Amino acid sequence: MELILVRMCALLLIVFTGLVRGLDISTSGETFVEKASGQSAMLECRFNVAPGDSGPLDIEWTLLASDNQKEDKVVILYAGDRSYEDYYPPMKGRVHFNAADPKTGDASINLTGLKSTDSGTYLCKVKKAPGIGSRKMQLSVMVRPSKPRCYTEGSTEEGKDFSLRCTSSEGTNPMKYIWDRTTETKILPASAMMDSDQGILRVKNASTSVTGTYRCTAKNRVGTEECFLQVKVTAPVNTANIIAGTITAILLILIILAIILFCCYRSHQRKKYEKEICNEIREDVPPPKSRVSTARSFTVGSQRSSLGSMSPSNLHEYALKPQYDKIPTADEYERPSSHNPLPPPSGARMAGPNLSRMGAIPVMVPAQNRDGSIV
């Protein structure tokens, strides 16, 4: 009898507690979800309704602002027996209720095509008056590493120090970079030191044994990517020969420039000298032949007209002029000066017949200037 009374009291207590508590969120799984970008994630939120919860069902998912200065963003909404899935523009078409009818007690949502901007804290709030329940979920969308870039830093000559570097432009931290060797012994050189956080492999006092192919693997919790680098350690360069060759090349260039400048100077001087000679020749050039010939023809013509009008009485003026066109004979050179005929007195006039008997020959002498040119 006492056992029956205890059971009845427990049952009444359960009923009474349910009436007081009302709506209850039944999901008790993980509250943190980590996914890679491009993947899908489900945020769980299941609930139970108490017999006293008789009001309309309202479900609201909100992305809480990380900064108190910003407002919370409603992502998806269920009210008045209708779902509003395109409520938040950045997630339009990517967020949906997991159940076709949330009234069945499933307010979970699915997010597709995740982006890094989708990361944050989400709040699921279920309301069916007078009952109210809520649950928070943390979503972290990680970006997998992009293909890293491998390169060397420093001289890869024998005996020198250099580094192998590896970096990815994209990827959510924490990121790790692991270097390994893919050729020969596949073991890193003994003098090499690796920094997996910065992606650096430092090689000290390099030798030819360091030559080979190296691989860098960039990874985080959601993915991995890798790149390869061929390393070749060479013999040290003879800097003395390089310096000597450089100096020789510079001297040759200077000599060539000097020769070019000298040739240009000589060419300039030659042109200047030829120009001066041309100017001197032009200063000594006689008057144009056309004018001289014209003046000469005019003078000769006038002299001829004068001779045509001469009479024997006035030929004595021409006979007194020196006979330039008569060649002296040998007897005349040998004849003493006393035998030479004396010229007539300056004031005497001789007749034409007398001049002819004396052997005078009329000669026409063109008029000349002082400088010897014919007028």
- For the chain, which residues make up each domain, given as ranges? 21-142, 149-231
Return d(Cα 105, Cα 124) in angstroms, integer. Answer: 13
Architecture in CATH for domain 149-231: Sandwich (2.60)
Q: Which of 123, 121, 117 is nearest to 141 (CA)?
A: 117
Is residue 16 pLDDT above 60, yes or no? no
Model confidence over 61-89: pLDDT tens digits? 999 998 877 889 999 999 989 999 988 99
Q: How far apart are CA 262 and CA 308, in angstroms?
A: 71
21-142 and 149-231 in the same fold: yes
Q: What is the pTM of this model?
A: 0.52
State pLDDT tens for residues 165-206: 999 999 998 999 999 999 877 889 888 999 999 999 999 999
CATH code matching the domain that covers 21-142, chosen among 1.10.3720.10, 3.10.580.10, 2.60.40.10, 3.40.50.720: 2.60.40.10
The residue type at 143? V
> When comparing pLDDT for 157 and 312, which is higher?
157
Q: Between 273 and 338, whose confidence is greater?
A: 273
Q: Determine the pLDDT at residue 232.
A: 93
Among residues of the chain, what percentage have pLDDT more than 70?
68
Beta bridge partners of 9: none
Q: Which of 163-172, 261-270, 305-314 has the highest mean pLDDT?
A: 163-172
57-61, 219-223, 345-349, 361-365: which has the minimum mean pLDDT?
Answer: 345-349
Asked if pLDDT for residue 306 goes beyond 80, the answer is no
pLDDT at position 271 is 83
